[in-house]
Amino acid sequence: MMRKLTCYIIDDEPLAQEILEEYVAKVPFLELQGTFMSPMEAAAQMDRDKPGLLFLDVNMPNLDGLTFVSMLNPRPMIILTTAYDQYALKAFDLEVKDYLLKPFSFERFYQGVLRLYQESGVERVPTLGETAGEPAYGQEYLFLKVGHRIQKVSIRDILYIEGMRDYLMIHTTREGLMTLLSFAQLEELLPAPHFARVHRSYMVAIDKIDHIERNRIWIGKQTIPISNTYSDGFYKKLRGLG
**Binned average pLDDT, 10 residues per bin, the chain of 242 residues:** 85 94 92 95 92 93 88 90 82 84 88 81 45 44 77 88 89 89 84 88 93 92 93 84 52
pTM (2 d.p.): 0.55
Residues in the chain: 242
Short-list 207, 224, 202, CA closest to 215: 224
Domains of the chain in sequence order: 5-132 (3.40.50.2300), 146-241 (2.40.50.1020)
Least Cα distance to 233 among 165, 177, 187, 178 occurs for 187
Closest CA to 195 of 155, 152, 166: 155
How high is the pLDDT of residue 1? 55
CB-based contact 119:110 (threshold 8 Å)? no
Asked if 82 contacts 90 with a C-beta cutoff of 8 angstroms, the reply is no
